[in-house]
Amino acid sequence: MPLFAKKHKIPLGIYIHVPFCRSKCQYCDFYSVTEKNDRLLDGYQDAVCTHIKEAGILAPDYVVDTIYFGGGTPSFFGADGMAAILTTIRKSFKVSSSAEISFEANPDSVSDRLLRRLRSEGFNRVSLGIQCDDDNILKKIGRPHNYAQAVSAVNRIRRFGFKNLSLDLMYGLPGQSLQDWEKTLANVLKLQPEHISCYGLKVEEGTPLYEYREFCNLADDDTQADMYLSAIEILGRHGYRQYEISNFCRKGNVSRHNLKYWNGDPYLGFGPNASSDFGGQRFTIIRDLEGYIRNMKTGKPVLQDVQTIAPRERAGEYLMMRLRTVSGIDPKEYEKKYLLPFAPLERNLIQCKERGLATKTFDGRWHLTPNGFLLSNSIISDLLLIQEQN
Amino acid sequence: MTDLSKIRNFSIIAHIDHGKSTLADRLLEECAAIDQREMEDQILDSMDLERERGITIKATAVQLTYQADDGEVYALNLIDTPGHVDFNYEVSRSLAACEGAVLVVDASQGVEAQTLANTFLATDAGLEVLPVINKIDLPSARPQEVKQEIEDIICVPAEDAPEISAKNGINIHSVLEMIVRDVPAPKGDRNAPLQALIFDSVYDSYRGVIVYTRIKEGTVRAGMDIKMMATGATYKVVEVGTMNPRGLTPRDALGAGEVGYITASIKTVADTQVGDTITSVENPATTPLPGYRPVQPMVFSGVYPADGAKYQDLREALEKLKLNDASFVYELESSIALGFGFRCGFLGLLHMEIIQERLEREYNLDLITTAPNVSYRVTKLDGTVLMVDNPLDYPDPMEIQLAEEPFVKVNLMAPQEYVGNIMDLATSRRGEFKDMVYLDANRVELHYEMPLNEIIYDFFDALKSRTRGYGSLDYELIGYRPSKLVKLDILLNGDIVDALSFILFADNAYPRARKICERLKENIPRAQFEIPVQAAIGGKIIARETIKALRKDVLAKCSVGDNTRKKKLLEKQKEGKKRMRTFGTVSVPSEAFMAVLKLDED
């Protein structure tokens, strides 16, 4: 340990973007490639490891308490590569012994070998993308697995000793009715995951789904809203507490890593298109695997879009991110941290409360209600405008 | 100076689309005034807008040098006239600068309302009217019948009218020969006191105003002190000359009978009103030329920047446009809903659209315009008389003794099979039938008197659609008449949006109110709460719609790796809200205003 290192280290999250997939899902606009050859895989692994080593030197005052392999499909990339990257992280950073170390997986690529290896390397949380229980819909949206594979994957994940499992679900899928969605929830509850994420389908421009969105029987906004409210109700009844717009957990099993985004805590991202919030700056790596590999090898810049975040902007992010969570925003904290008046915001929040969209807790915090979450863009953009005008 | 006997001053008149500007181009070509290369179609219509709409908005003039078959060289002054009923006065002044008019009639369409109206204007001005049958290359051309129509309907000999195709350059030579032969040479005494008719003027940032003029009597030369007889303004002439297709050609002097330009360091076109007479300060004429009329706007509308911060930009743009167009007026107004803007007066609806389009295109402004209205005359109980051209100024009904609105005489012309349709339309617009005249075996002209307000929105379009494009229209103001008027207010979530208020005939209020509420419902985005849209007269609600509350507007996934992009989405949404106008608690996009304006387009 360096001589003058601080006694109390700052917690840090690390995100590894693994940009490999077996196939592209019809709705997905995350960065990934479906090409998988040794040159790319090795090149990627080398680039990420070099990058991690470089960054580690700059972060002696931090202790890593969450690591998250997302994608893409980390499980498709493979256990050896992930293990090598994790080892590099451990060598380059101080990693807390109680760190949450997660990886995303698809049911078709969680082999026994992968699970055994990753568990032994210290991975302790799995986020499994199963989306829904209807094989027809899974096929329609381009998922490379069926529901039986998902159930089998869950069983094997448990068998290899992972005690923290999250299941990703989607609602508003092509042809999916409210009843279909409730059936999916009922089935998934039988699998007893610690954590569930429910994401409403959003049709993003540039995805294949966008092109035929008119013709695939998508739920309208009102139906999606009903699906959302029904999820909150059903999950709540089964002991899953909502802690963010789309996230639910049992017994405090929140995603500590994702909470960092919502709380505005620092994190470093590696891999193409990963973003970071570190040292008062926010930066994103280029959205180009080949370019990332090449530039890391030749010492050229890999960042695009480096921004120093002004306090004023932090104040905006505070509203944007915190209002996604059930703990919401704290007026006293807001005023103290950003030296801005809360009263104009509160006036608007009171209107929201009258409309049943927000609640003020006994200790003065504000958070959105389920109906408020549904309108969070509209509410937050109003607040941002008010913030800007005061 | 050109000898009087070698000058021909003429105009080309036609119904819209009968080929006036194309013929002008061919005449220019035939006189080798410009070669093919330089021809940008229809050189006289110099604004993009004019070219796009195929109409002439501003008059222009050009001098052609033509060697006729008799061996003599003639100066032919072609004065192009605006081609729309909104600009009738301007047309009449251009015609007053000529001795003859070439009447272009489409060989398949035949005589139409504006053919008639323009011919009357020309004969009223004492012009020789020379018909030309255009578009004879079209398969549907029926030149003989059309000639008969011309003789029957407008009583002008047409037997020898040249049959031409301006588009394909057929028989253009015969038109030029006809002009030399049949347009009378101008008369005038070049030693008499100066009387020069202003028929147009344009603003040039280097020279100031360039006045287009026809010298009726006397002579004007550089250095002379001149006076505008109507406005009283005096100037020293800097330059005189003639307008040639390639630009202005300075000359020593312009004498009676000639058409040319004058510059005199004049700062604004408002000082050089169309129809005014220029005379000499030293040796003034005793009377001005007849026919001058000050500009009178007929249609009024509020013009606001869509982004309130662009108010100064709008002001500057209006000032610049005004430099070149004395016929529109504007004054500052403010609305609770829209902030600062201007109440503008226009000659007619087309004129209004043109100004608005120029503001948007040439000055890059996004505008919100309020519903156009006419100027109402209101007599209050205490006897004071108000001219109300802004709904916000409309007095409380309790204070009104008499409300009057302007009426026009409308001439509608169409093949007789559409008479029923036209009558339905005119009746639905409160038209009072006067009479109907058979112009020939199957063509009729109907005369109505109706409120100007009823034709300023979309009457022309409605007429076209009900007559398959064959109907045509012409109108003139005949004065004010008592009327049952009410002011209709629109409320969003209980608050009156002043910019949406307007004055209308009481019996039309209910259907109109219902339609406006429907349109607003379609165009205002759903909000976090339910929004009632109401229409009211006085305090009484007469129509209502409800905009349901928005249920879902959320970024479901905002986590690993992509929160930066999602954050930009929210920033964008915030910026979008800035551009909306907030009325009380309701945000209204500018499209909603547009939708209300275009109410009658169904």
Domain-wise residue ranges, chain A? 10-262, 311-389
CATH of domain B299-369: 3.30.70.870
Q: What class does CATH assign to A10-262? A: alpha beta
pLDDT of residue A4: 54
Please determine, for residue A49, whether its predicted confidence score (pLDDT) is greater than 70.
yes
Cβ pair B557:A355 closer than 8 A: no
- B551 touching chain A per CB within 8 A: yes
User: What is the rounded distance in angstroms from the CA atom of residue B164 to the CA atom of residue B136?
Assistant: 6
- Measuring CA to CA, which residue among B567, B586, B391, B601 is closest to residue B489? B391
Q: What class does CATH assign to B486-597? A: alpha beta
Cβ pair B570:A261 closer than 8 A: no
Q: Write out the E strands in B206-314.
A: 208-217, 219-221, 225-228, 234-236, 239-244, 247-251, 253-255, 259-263, 277-280, 299-305
B367 with B381: CB under 8 angstroms?
no
Q: Which fold has domain B4-182?
A: Rossmann fold (3.40.50)
Q: Write out the E strands in A73-194.
A: 94-105, 125-131, 164-171
pLDDT of residue B593: 77
Please determine, for residue B523, whether its predicted confidence score (pLDDT) is greater than 90.
no
A167 with A217: CB under 8 angstroms?
no
For helices B563-579 and A311-322, the axis angle rounded to 10 degrees is 100
CB-hemisphere CA count at 13 Å for A76? 25
pLDDT of residue B506: 92
Amino acid at B126: G
For chain B, domain boundaries? 4-182, 195-280, 299-369, 377-483, 486-597
For residues A268-286, average pLDDT: 91
Q: State the pLDDT confidence band at A286, using cuts at 50, 70 and 90.
A: very high
Q: Which fold has domain B377-483?
A: Alpha-Beta Plaits (3.30.70)
Q: What is the ipTM of this complex?
A: 0.86
Q: pTM to 2 decimals?
A: 0.66
Nearest to A17 among B528, B558, B561 (CB): B561
User: What is the rounded distance in angstroms from the CA atom of residue B568 to the CA atom of residue B573?
Assistant: 9
Quote the minimal CA–CA distance from B25 to chain A in Å.
49
pLDDT of residue B559: 62
Please determine, for residue B442, whether its predicted confidence score (pLDDT) is greater than 90.
no
Helix ranges (DSSP H) in B197-273: none
Please determine, for residue B349, whether its predicted confidence score (pLDDT) is greater than 80.
no
Nearest to A381 among B557, B563, B570 (CB): B570
* B127 SS3 class: coil
pLDDT of residue B303: 92
The DSSP H or E segment spanning B476 is strand B472-482
CA A11 to chain CA mean position, Å: 18
How far, in Å, are A33, A44, A55, A68, A88 from residue A92 at the CA level?
A: 28, 18, 8, 16, 6
The answer for A264, left when phi > 0, alpha when psi is -120 to 50, beta otherwise, is left
Cβ pair A381:B574 closer than 8 A: yes
* Same fold: B4-182 with B486-597: no
Q: Which of A97-101, A193-197, B447-451, B510-514 has the lowest mean pLDDT?
A: B510-514
Nearest residue on chain B to A324, judged by CA atoms? B558
CA quadruple A51, A54, A60, A61: dihedral sign: negative
Residue B515 in tokens: 């339609």
B162-188 burial, b for 16+ CB within 10 Å, e for fewer? bbbbbeeebbbbebbebbbebbeebeb
Q: State the pLDDT confidence band at B83, using cuts at 50, 70 and 90.
A: low
Nearest residue on chain B to A387, judged by CA atoms? B574
Interface probe for A, chosen from B524, B529, B553, B554 (most Cβ of A below 10 Å), is: B554
B503 with B477: CB under 8 angstroms?
no
- Burial of A319 by CB count in 10 Å (0-12 exposed, 13-18 middle, 19+ buried)? buried
Q: Which of A5-19, A70-84, A236-250, A318-332 has the lowest mean pLDDT?
A: A5-19
CATH of domain A311-389: 1.10.10.10
Q: pLDDT tens digits, residue range B253-280?
A: 999 999 999 999 998 888 888 899 999 9
B467 with B421: CB under 8 angstroms?
yes
**CB-CB neighbors (< 8 A) of B570 in chain A:** 320, 377, 380-381, 384
Please determine, for residue B110, whether its predicted confidence score (pLDDT) is greater than 60.
yes
pLDDT of residue B56: 46
Quote the minimal CA–CA distance from A211 to chain B in Å.
20
**CB-CB neighbors (< 8 A) of A352 in chain B:** 528
CATH of domain B195-280: 2.40.30.10
- Measuring CA to CA, which residue among B100, B162, B98, B96 is closest to residue B135? B162
- B293 touching chain A per CB within 8 A: no
B481 with B407: CB under 8 angstroms?
yes
CB-hemisphere CA count at 13 Å for A296? 25
Helix ranges (DSSP H) in B165-221: 172-182
User: What is the rounded distance in angstroms from the CA atom of residue B313 to the CA atom of residue B321?
Assistant: 12
